[in-house]
Structure 1
């Protein structure tokens, strides 16, 4: 069994033409890189109208993890796929502020329902 086989699995669901990525707490940088690759190469990506990054299970993001999710967001935006971050808890928001993330191109919603409604307006 190689290291990739032991990594935290990435849960990607599809509702209508929207993908939902359930982000998990992750302390391994290699796993984050594998998740980035999995999201950007997902088989339904070309037919999707938007993607939601659901941070419900994450309490804190370090600077590397923040950078990975920002790069995922920017990459998808370049492919004209809107991305919404949802279920951001105070720890994540604090991390984003502490590392001075430029949030002007990051869309966020409080709940999954709000995120879906926002994506419908954007697409």
Structure 2
């Protein structure tokens, strides 16, 4: 799934979106759900969400909390990629409802294409 054109198209979209504005978690989770297909087990969707986030990070997207001087910038977590992805996995598992995932983190990139 991750090497397919639909996956690459979603990844490209998410990275471009993160260059334009902070991206909230549910956008990424929604992309994973779309890629996984209707009726796919939640564990598969969550694993694909983490995979997308890891690939976004490889392309310069920062993961963090919304804040900063303006209150609308992403303050990157001071964690390695592995620790970031583990934190996200843990926090997804701690939340009951997927719509609560917005509390986990935000995404932003200032890197040019």
TM-score bracket for the superposition, by shorter chain length = 0.3 to 0.5
Normalising by structure 1, what TM-score?
0.36
Normalising by structure 2, what TM-score?
0.38
User: Would you tell me which structure has more helix in proportion to its own residues?
Assistant: 2
User: Would you tell me which structure has more strand in proportion to its own residues?
Assistant: 1
